[in-house]
Amino acid sequence: MPLPAHLRQFLASVHPYDSLSDADLDTLAQLCTATDYAPGETVFVVGDTAENLYIIAGGEVEITDETDVQISILGPRNSFGERALLRDEAASRTATVTRDCTLIAVPADTFFALIDAHAPVAKFFDRRRPPRSDQKDLTTLPVGQLMTRDPMTCAPETPIRDAAAQMHAKRISSICVSEAQGFRGIVTLRDMTGRVVAEGHDAGAPLSTIMTEHPLTLRPTALVTDVLHLMVERGIGHVPIVEGSDLVGIVTQTDLTRAQAMSSADLVGRVAKAADAGEMARVTAQIPDLLVQLVEAGNRHEVVTRLITDIADTATRRLLALAEAELGPPPVPYLWLACGSQGRQEQTGVSDQDNCLILSDDVTEAQMPYFAALAKYVSDGLDTCGYFYCPGDMMATNPRWCQPLRVWQEYFRGWIATPNPEAQMLASVMFDLRPIGGDRSLFDDLQQKTLAEASKNSIFTAHMISNSLKHQPPLGLLRGLATIRSGEHRNRLDLKHNGVVPVVDLGRVYTLQGQLSPVNTRARLEAAQKAGVLSPAGGADLLSAYDLIAMTRLEHQAAQVKAGAKPNNYLDPATLSDFERSHLRDAFVVVKTMQSAVGSGKGALG
């Protein structure tokens, strides 16, 4: 039956329908129906039928999964069914009435018409649906959608003059060099003028004699922003796109001039050319505004944090270059690595620095002061740029974290063999290591061997699982949220330590169990799902929960910046609508369920 007047008034008080005009609300009310249900009645089973969105006007509904495990209990002003309508449900969900209940049914076509016609409604539900390609900013598109496919190529033995003639005929600024074994290199117009014309190189010589061998490349899944950042930081104008050893495309500066979206890339470029840390700091001071811009543009959380982390990476590499210019060339090869949020490419508007140095085993005691000075120069510079010193002293300035490779190998072997509480903590941090600048070969074998050894040690794995359960989602009694009880952030949710960190910890455990190489949390969850460490349903639920929690955190920080405040991780749940609180709690329940599965030894496959 059509909605009674008092239910229409109730609908007008529920977000996001409170944003509708009176006329639109009247139309919505005429298209909806209200039905009373008794305890025990099943409203629907997702995966079987999904015809309506349901809004609870009174009573209580229990949502369970395909194994009859309770996912959530929903009360008045909450709704359910939107995930099924949006094809965002990986497993069955059953809705059963537990207390006398009145449900407002919004038909599917009405629901989609609301989303299409009303931006506030679309924005509200979009966090539960996959991002639409037409909503993406060009800089966040995969380069595979922008690159020039089947670029002009020549064999290595092609005479230089013949390759130049082809470039002139096709009016292109580069030509790639390939052979049967795959992609070899690239020759640009600048190479032709600089190495052939200016230096008098023999124009009949093979093209391979002037090509840039093994140039910087990206995969088709990289973002357009990755190309922008690579170009402005390294001063190059052509980036070959490869899949394995095969050349599949190329992106040039000309391709990117159409983008006109150099926001984060502009900051990267300015940092890469900065003369000192002070100049860098004037650039990094704009990161909060960039955060707001990226969030309001509708970018997903993993894109936002990736772009922000790119700036920190560039600042680190620039400081390393400035340090070497002042101190002289390094006496032996070294590698600067980031851990923590920078290592995982998950930096937000609030970031400290976590880093370390791996040195060649050829280093002598007499040469160690050079690296101590290098570490101080870079860490001091990062602090000037707003990446404050690590409270736990997890930095390369600490002699413990500036050591030869053989010492790092001993560290990891010791932590794995004797997983005491400190070893658990240190291993957790170090599993997030990512090379930033220097000789990357110092890390490759260390990472793979450590993962292999750690995964074979059941005692170490058990301790890592135990350590991952120390951070619990903020779930309170009576279907509420547990806020901080006292202190400066009283009555707030800690979206870092009780929000994203529990998922970060789970991702690390799955990485260990599957010997997976990704460091980014979302990439770890996807890899674990693909490898079978996570079930399809469990992985989909955890990814969805993580997306909601991480995006809520970023939206909170963006709102603080817009209000002129310094961003932090402490959210007042009273600022959320009933619907938002309900879904945020649902996300925390999913995380808690996955923690219980890992803690019981069942993983996420049972």
Interval 259-274: pLDDT, tens = 444 468 788 888 999 9
What whole-number distance in Å separates Cα of residue 43 and Cα of residue 79?
12
User: What pLDDT was estimated at residue 130?
Assistant: 40
pLDDT at 576 over 70: yes
Q: Which residues make Cβ contacts (< 8 Å) with residue 325, sequence separation at least 6?
A: none
The model's pLDDT over 125-144, given as tens digits with 9 standing for 90+, comes to 764 444 443 344 566 677 88
Higher pLDDT, 330 or 48: 330
pTM above 0.75, yes or no: no
User: What pLDDT was estimated at residue 44?
Assistant: 75
Work out the number of other CB atoms within 10 angstroms of the CB of residue 601.
9
The model's pLDDT over 169-210, given as tens digits with 9 standing for 90+, comes to 988 889 999 998 889 999 998 888 888 887 888 889 999 999
Kindly calculate the radius of gyration of the chain based on its CA atoms and give it in whole angstroms. 27
User: What pLDDT was estimated at residue 239?
Assistant: 93
SS3 category, 409: helix
Cα dihedral sign for 101, 102, 106, 107? positive
Q: How confident is the model at residue 277 (pLDDT cuts 50, 70, 90)?
A: very high
The model's pLDDT over 474-494, given as tens digits with 9 standing for 90+, comes to 998 666 789 999 999 999 999
Q: What is the mean pLDDT of residues 296-318?
A: 91
DSSP 8-state code for residue 136: S
**Domains (ranges, CATH) in the chain?**
5-130 (2.60.120.10), 138-257 (3.10.580.10), 263-453 (3.30.460.10), 469-599 (1.20.120)
pLDDT at 14 over 90: no
The model's pLDDT over 53-110, given as tens digits with 9 standing for 90+, comes to 889 988 888 887 666 666 667 788 888 887 777 655 444 678 899 989 999 999 888 8
> Are 573 and 588 a contacting pair, CB within 8 Å?
no
What whole-number distance in Å separates Cα of residue 36 and Cα of residue 57?
10
User: What pLDDT was estimated at residue 128?
Assistant: 44
Q: Dump the DSSP string for 36-84.
A: EE-TT-EEEEETT---EEEEEEEEEEEEEETTS-EEEEE-TT-EE-HHH
List the Cα angle 431/291/560 in 5-degree steps.
105
- Residue of 424, 372, 415 lying closest to 396 (CA atoms): 372
> Are 327 and 373 a contacting pair, CB within 8 Å?
yes
Q: 393-427 burial string, b = 16+ CB within 10 Å, else e?
A: ebbbbbeebbbbbeebbebbeebbeebeeebbebb
Q: What is the mean pLDDT of residues 527-533?
A: 93
